[in-house]
């Protein structure tokens, strides 16, 4: 089970003062020492945390999977092709949101995404689509040629009691359906040290992508330890 650590919020703290610290590159190096199998950054249109320079330097330094999260815009597609991350995860992006609020609108965006996937893949970069846990969205992801999907776990993470059970079942069903259709399947968003175990136990999952909770713990106990503790909860090598 791959653990991709999202270091965006290290840059969030740096940008709060337009300073040189803390450095996401150092955070990435420590995350890798702690056992991270991948490093994720989201280069947002408004550059609120990760900057273009961070991405370039990470590409030079990171030898594990570098996953670039991005909106499917011409600008970002150009940057992805120029930088050459190991994986591009296409996410929806709204300026006013605090964080990614949900999966892609696969019905409305289908043709636009098909084109974006084709352009990125033509540069030799595999593409993952961040989708809601709906069977129909999995179907569309496969139809437009993505090799991978990341199932949105935010609703599971935020729900309580019976609702959480229902959301869990949706994630589980989407993972099962995607695997049956030959896609590689990841999951992420809102996962933390308390709710990750059930998701990690889902059969067939390739990996989890986690940011906020790991960076939050890293502030208190250090990045290496925070990653090590998360890896231990995933339970599988
Ligand atoms: N996966 C995707 C596609 C995301 O957009 C994010 C947030 O940037 C994450 C995973 C990580 O979510 P969190 O920070 O809640 O762990």
Here the CATH number for the domain that contains residue 214 is: 3.20.20.70
Please tell me the distance from the alpha carbon of residue 132 to that of residue 114, in angstroms, as a whole number: 17
Per-residue pLDDT at 237: 60
229 carries an active-site annotation: no
Percent of the chain past pLDDT 70, that is, above it, reads 99
pLDDT tens-digit readout, 51-98: 999 999 999 999 999 999 999 999 999 999 999 999 999 999 877 777
Residue 4 Cα to ligand 1 midpoint, Å, equals: 10
pLDDT tens-digit readout, 109-165: 999 999 999 999 999 999 999 999 999 999 999 999 999 999 999 999 999 999 999
HSE, side-chain direction, 13 A CA sphere, residue 166: 7
Residues with C-beta less than 6 Å from any ligand 1 atom? 6, 8, 42, 69, 89, 91, 99-100, 130, 150, 188-191, 209-213
**Bridge partner residues of 39 (DSSP):** 5, 66
Q: What is the DSSP string of 35-85?
A: T-SEEEEE--TT-SS--HHHHHHHHHH--SEEEEEE-S-HHHHHHHHHH--
Residue 149 Cα to ligand 1 midpoint, Å, equals: 13
Flag whether pLDDT at 210 surpasses 70. yes
Angle at 49 between CA 48 and CA 55, to 5 degrees: 120
Please tell me the distance from the alpha carbon of residue 206 to that of residue 1, in angstroms, as a whole number: 6
HSE, side-chain direction, 13 A CA sphere, residue 48: 12
152 carries an active-site annotation: no
Please state the domain count of the chain: 1
Question: 3-state SS string over 121-171?
Answer: HHCCCCEEEEECCCHHHHHHHHHCCCCEEEEECHHHHHCCHHHHHHHHHHH
Q: Which domain holds residue 204?
A: 2-234
9 carries an active-site annotation: no
């Amino acid at each position: 089970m791959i653990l991709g650590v999202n270091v965006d919020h290290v840059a969030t703290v740096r940008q709060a003062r337009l300073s040189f610290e803390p450095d996401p590159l150092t955070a990435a190096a420590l995350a890798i020492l702690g056992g991270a199998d991948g490093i994720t950054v989201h280069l947002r249109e408004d550059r609120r945390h990760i900057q273009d320079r961070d991405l370039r330097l990470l590409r030079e330094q990171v030898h594990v999977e570098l996953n670039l999260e991005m909106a499917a815009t011409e600008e970002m597609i150009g940057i992805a092709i120029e930088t050459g991350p190991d994986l591009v995860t296409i996410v929806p992006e709204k300026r006013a949101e605090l964080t990614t609020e949900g999966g892609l609108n696969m019905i409305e965006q289908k043709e636009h995404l098909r084109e974006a996937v084709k352009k990125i893949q033509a540069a030799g970069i595999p593409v993952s689509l961040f989708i809601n846990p709906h069977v129909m969205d999995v179907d569309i992801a496969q139809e437009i040629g993505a090799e991978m999907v990341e199932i949105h776990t935010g609703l599971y993470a935020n729900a309580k009691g019976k609702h959480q059970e229902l959301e869990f079942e949706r994630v589980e069903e989407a993972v099962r359906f995607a695997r049956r259709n030959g896609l590689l399947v990841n999951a992420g968003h809102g996962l933390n040290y308390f709710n990750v175990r059930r998701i990690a136990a889902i059969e067939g999952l390739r990996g989890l992508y986690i940011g906020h909770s790991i960076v939050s713990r890293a502030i208190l106990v250090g990045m290496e330890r925070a990653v090590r503790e998360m890896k231990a909860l995933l339970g599988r090598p």
